[in-house]
């Protein structure tokens, strides 16, 4: 039974607490831990049956992080850093999940949670200054402060492909992979989607499947992870230098200690430029997007980076037509998240793997036996949907969140999310979003980003309490100005040239607005501190 002991006042069936935290991923667990530590009666609610968030749901073969694990981990407790051992540069999903389970046990967090319950609605009572939160299991909770740690990539996108429901085989989603696992051995497998999830899973699925057909609508840039076990020496070194590493991460643009090449590209000759790209390529993955300063701002630099990667891919893939099909031509490199793979391009040299270019031969319909494209038919036993997420806003707008002056979050964000500092939304007092739109979020190391926001928000709550304020709300003008600033900074980069999920472009009908703050993690932290130093400028408090 998972009734939280710190959720008193349930006489009328209503759980009465100070803080409700929705979500038990990196952000939610940290929020619950810190809220309890600060003496708030706290209830956590999580739709999944356990902790982990992203790492609970995305159990597909090949799933691992693309930020090195020694960085992609909690920084708040040096003891935790010292006692945990990451076995590889980029840990697998099971290892990250066991890390989060360890954290949940170490800080005794599970007892505050109700698992397996999805929050379906929340409404704010202006008179009592409290949120009433309702779950699909019938729990009703009242709280003063509502922390939405609901995830930026947690609302899976099931594509609207004609006939999908008629498929007689199994349909599995990477974003909701069966907990008990799913064995593709000797099966004819089709994968729809070639983003990070598809690109990580395809090589692993190909090893076991009888046949693997990859249905690709848009190719993505991918750089090999060069993943490997960490040596004992490296683990020791990481433990020894953790404090400096974290300091660099918090002072960096993307929440990791890595810096771009120390010299501007135009000051180095061709040989040095090549070596710099080669060194970054060998470091692996997303870091390649930032080899040189301004690589995602100046198209000429971007073109050089792109050409380098294209050459690498063409050297791996044996069939030149397949190589052509696997190379993007619709966006500057790095303006969609570069995927981090292990043997992705090599997989297309296997005899049991086929690439279907949906731009040339679109899916007509899915039938009981498989996929029918305009020119061909593919008989399948399993269809894997690696089709992404309603990113950044989906988890919030899928709940019926009602503000006190009428209107839902979905309505408030219909033309794109509007926030102040990515943490608060005008019209929704005492509600906070963690790593949501308007914050560095998905463009930073999300673990550190969550820590920073949770600490800052709990300071805000303590400030309100100390000053006798029952409510705090983002001012409409401050939120407009911040959201315009987020847009303006993005417009100064090449990111706005990509039809990415950063811009809502993967979901039909969604507003095309660049959602994360691209001005840098360190700059963002400074903006938050500035507001705090000015007595939380940008917010209005009420008694």
Applying CB under 6 A, the span of 10-18, 55-63, 124-132, 505-513 interacting with ligand FAD comes to 55-63
Phi, psi of 520 (to 5 degrees): 110, 145
Residue 297 DSSP label: T
At closest approach, how far in Å is the CB of 484 from ligand NAP? 25
Which of ligand NAP, ligand FAD, none is residue 23 near (CB under 5 to 8 Å by kind)?
Answer: ligand FAD
At closest approach, how far in Å is the CB of 521 from ligand FAD? 11
Q: Is 43 in the site for ligand FAD (CB under 6 A)?
A: no
| Residue the block writes with tokens 């966006």 | 331
Q: Is 118 in the site for ligand FAD (CB under 6 A)?
A: yes
Applying CB under 6 A, the span of 275-283, 305-313, 384-392, 409-417 interacting with ligand NAP comes to 384-392
Phi, psi of 288 (to 5 degrees): -60, -30
Do the beta carbons of residue 381 and residue 241 sit within 8 Å? no
At closest approach, how far in Å is the CB of 320 from ligand FAD? 31
Q: Is 518 in the site for ligand FAD (CB under 6 A)?
A: no
| Residue the block writes with tokens 């911040």 | 482
Q: Is 163 in the site for ligand NAP (CB under 6 A)?
A: no
Which of ligand FAD, ligand NAP, none is residue 72 near (CB under 5 to 8 Å by kind)?
Answer: ligand FAD
Number of residues in contact with ligand FAD, rule: CB under 6 A?
36
Alpha-carbon distances of 378 from 265, 356, 367, 382, rounded to whole Å: 47, 10, 10, 11
At closest approach, how far in Å is the CB of 198 from ligand NAP? 6
Do the beta carbons of residue 153 and residue 458 sit within 8 Å? no
Q: Is 364 in the site for ligand NAP (CB under 6 A)?
A: no
Do the beta carbons of residue 220 and residue 501 sit within 8 Å? no
Q: CB-based burial of residue 82 (10 Å sphere; 0-12 exposed, 13-18 middle, 19+ buried)?
A: exposed
Q: Is 385 in the site for ligand FAD (CB under 6 A)?
A: no
Instruction: Choose, by CB under 6 A, the member of 4, 23, 438, 516 that binds ligand FAD.
Output: 23
What is the distance between the alpha carbons of residues 285 and 202, in angstroms, rounded to a whole number?
16
At closest approach, how far in Å is the CB of 442 from ligand FAD? 6
What is the distance between the alpha carbons of residues 93 and 63, in angstroms, rounded to a whole number?
5
What is the distance between the alpha carbons of residues 148 and 249, in angstroms, rounded to a whole number?
24
Which of 433, 434, 431, 435 minimizes the C-alpha distance to 402? 431
Q: Is 2 in the site for ligand NAP (CB under 6 A)?
A: no
Q: Is 342 in the site for ligand FAD (CB under 6 A)?
A: no
Output the residue with the shortest Cβ distance to ligand NAP: 195
Alpha-carbon distances of 471 from 300, 406, 421, 540, rounded to whole Å: 49, 17, 18, 8
At closest approach, how far in Å is the CB of 93 from ligand NAP? 9
Applying CB under 6 A, the span of 129-137, 190-198, 268-276, 526-534 interacting with ligand NAP comes to 190-198
At closest approach, how far in Å is the CB of 175 from ligand NAP? 6
Number of H helices, E strands in the chain: 15, 22
Q: Is 254 in the site for ligand FAD (CB under 6 A)?
A: no
Do the beta carbons of residue 103 and residue 44 sit within 8 Å? no
Instruction: Choose, by CB under 6 A, the member of 46, 341, 381, 451 that binds ligand FAD.
Output: 46
What is the distance between the alpha carbons of residues 288 and 258, in angstroms, rounded to a whole number?
11
| Residue-by-residue DSSP string for 372-425 | EESS-EEE-SEEEE---B-TTTHHHHTSEEE-TTS-BHHHHTTTS---BTTTB-
Instruction: Choose, by CB under 6 A, the member of 445, 493, 500, 531 that binds ligand FAD.
Output: 445
Q: Which residues pair with 433 in a beta bridge?
A: 148
Q: Is 253 in the site for ligand FAD (CB under 6 A)?
A: no
Q: Is 256 in the site for ligand NAP (CB under 6 A)?
A: no
Strand 130-135, strand 119-125: pairing: antiparallel
| Residue the block writes with tokens 């309890």 | 36
Applying CB under 6 A, the span of 5-13, 61-69, 360-368, 405-413 interacting with ligand FAD comes to 61-69
Window 434-453: contact mask with ligand NAP (x via CB under 6 A):
--------x-----------
Q: Is 532 in the site for ligand NAP (CB under 6 A)?
A: no
Do the beta carbons of residue 439 and residue 453 sit within 8 Å? yes
Strand 145-148, strand 170-173: pairing: unpaired
Q: Is 227 in the site for ligand NAP (CB under 6 A)?
A: no
Window 304-343: contact mask with ligand NAP (x via CB under 6 A):
---------------------------------x--x---
Helix axes 521-533, 232-251, angle to 10 degrees: 50
Decide whether 371 or 454 has the Cβ nearer to ligand FAD: 454
Q: What residues line the site for ligand FAD (CB under 6 A)? A: 22-28, 45-48, 53-54, 56, 58, 63, 65-67, 72, 118-119, 149-154, 197, 395, 399, 434-435, 445-446, 450
Q: What residues line the site for ligand NAP (CB under 6 A)? A: 65-66, 153, 159, 161, 192-198, 200, 217-218, 337, 340, 358, 386-389, 442, 501, 506
């Amino acid at each position: 039974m998972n009734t939280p002991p710190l959720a008193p006042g349930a006489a009328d069936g209503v759980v009465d607490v100070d803080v409700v935290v929705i979500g038990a991923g990196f952000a939610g667990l940290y929020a619950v831990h810190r809220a309890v530590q600060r003496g708030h009666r706290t209830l956590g609610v999580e739709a999944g049956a356990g902790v982990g968030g992203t790492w609970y749901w995305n159990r597909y073969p090949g799933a691992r992080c693309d930020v090195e694990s020694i960085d992609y981990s909690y920084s708040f407790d040096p003891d935790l850093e010292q006692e945990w051992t990451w076995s590889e540069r980029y840990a697998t999903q099971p290892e990250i999940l066991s890390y989060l389970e360890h954290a949940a046990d170490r800080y005794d967090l599970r007892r505050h949670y109700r698992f397996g319950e999805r929050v379906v609605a929340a409404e704010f009572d202006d008179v009592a200054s409290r949120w009433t939160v309702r779950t699909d299991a019938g729990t009703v909770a009242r709280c003063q402060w509502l922390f939405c740690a609901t995830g930026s990539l947690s609302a899976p996108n099931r594509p609207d492909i004609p006939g999908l429901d008629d498929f007689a085989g199994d349909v599995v989603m990477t974003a909701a992979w069966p907990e008990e696992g799913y064995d593709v051995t000797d099966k004819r497998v089709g994968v729809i989607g070639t983003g990070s999830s598809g690109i990580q899973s395809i090589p692993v699925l190909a090893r076991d499947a009888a046949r693997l057909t990859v249905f690709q609508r848009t190719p993505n840039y991918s750089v090999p992870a060069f993943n490997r076990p960490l040596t004992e020496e490296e683990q020791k070194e990481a433990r020894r230098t953790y404090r400096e590493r974290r300091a660099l991460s918090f002072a960096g643009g993307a929440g990791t200690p890595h810096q771009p090449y120390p010299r501007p590209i135009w000051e180095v000759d061709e040989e040095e430029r090549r070596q710099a790209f080669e060194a970054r390529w060998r470091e692996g993955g997303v870091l390649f997007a930032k080899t040189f300063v301004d690589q995602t701002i100046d198209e000429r630099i971007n073109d050089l980076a792109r050409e380098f990667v294209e050459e690498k891919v063409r050297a791996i893939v044996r069939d030149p037509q397949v190589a052509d099909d696997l190379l993007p031509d619709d966006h500057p490199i790095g303006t969609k998240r570069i995927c981090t793979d292990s043997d992705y391009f090599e997989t297309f040299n296997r005899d049991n793997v086929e690439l279907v270019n949906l731009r040339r031969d679109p899916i007509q319909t899915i039938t009981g036996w498989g996929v029918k494209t305009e020119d061909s038919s593919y008989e399948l036993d399993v269809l894997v949907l690696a089709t992404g997420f309603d990113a950044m806003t989906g988890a919030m707008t899928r709940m019926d969140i009602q503000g006190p002056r009428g209107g839902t979050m979905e309505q408030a964000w219909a033309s794109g999310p509007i926030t102040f500092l990515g943490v608060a939304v005008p019209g929704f007092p005492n509600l906070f979003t963690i790593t949501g739109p308007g914050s560095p979020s998905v463009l930073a190391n999300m673990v550190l980003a969550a820590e920073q926001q949770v600490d800052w928000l709990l300071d805000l709550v303590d400030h309100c309490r100390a000053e006798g304020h029952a409510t705090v709300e983002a001012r409409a003008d401050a939120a407009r100005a911040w959201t315009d600033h987020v847009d303006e900074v993005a417009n100064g980069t090449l990111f706005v040239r990509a039809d990415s999920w950063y811009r809502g472009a993967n979901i039909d009908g969604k507003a095309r607005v660049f959602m994360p703050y691209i001005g840098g993690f360190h700059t963002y932290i400074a903006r938050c501190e500035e507001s705090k130093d000015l007595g939380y400028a940008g917010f209005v408090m009420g008694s």
